[in-house]
Amino acid sequence: MLNSTLQPLSILALHGPNLNLLGQREPGIYGSLTLAEINRLLEEEGFKLQAKVFPLQSNHEGILVDTIHEALGQHQGILINAGAYTHTSVALRDAIAAVNLPTVEVHLSNIYRREDFRHHSYIAPVAIGQISGFGVQSYLLGLQALVNHLRKNET
């Protein structure tokens, strides 16, 4: 049920490299849902939470960095699955730290049950939390946690 006294939140949902191939890319690891289906579920969940979700996917690190910079003043929080950039991108980490927006890191797979190089996240130290291993639920739980954090800190 919507609470008419709450102002709608604006959430940027960023999807990193290769996530445009969801649904066909290694479904045993990433599931069978497409990115469009995940975005639709995020938008539906956002509506329930009185948050508008603005999704963007890019295979290019610079576009993701630019989008994080542009989030300042436009969005109250960031939900991010940086894909492989999670484990390699100091630039994404620095962009998130620079804008200082509450950020939740999500992953479809449990990155700690995978290859050793996936066990390190450059994003986690600048995020308010990380959720991984629950498939599409990781995204939805991440959105719920982010909105709850933002609502708790509203004054």
From the candidates 15, 30, 75, 85, give the one annotated as an active-site residue.
Answer: 30
Annotated active-site residue 30? The verdict is yes
Share of the chain above pLDDT 90, in %: 79
Residues in contact with 142: Cβ distance below 8 Å, sequence separation at least 6, in sequence order: 79, 104, 105, 106, 129, 131
Annotated active-site residue 107? The verdict is yes
pLDDT tens-place string over residues 27-83? 777 777 999 999 999 999 999 999 999 999 999 999 999 999 999 999 999 999 999
pLDDT of residue 4: 57
100 assigned binding-site residue: no
108 assigned binding-site residue: yes
81 assigned binding-site residue: yes
Compute the distance between CA of residue 45 and CA of residue 120 in angstroms, rounded to an integer: 29
What are the structural domains, with CATH classification, of the chain?
9-152 (3.40.50.9100)
pLDDT of residue 155: 58
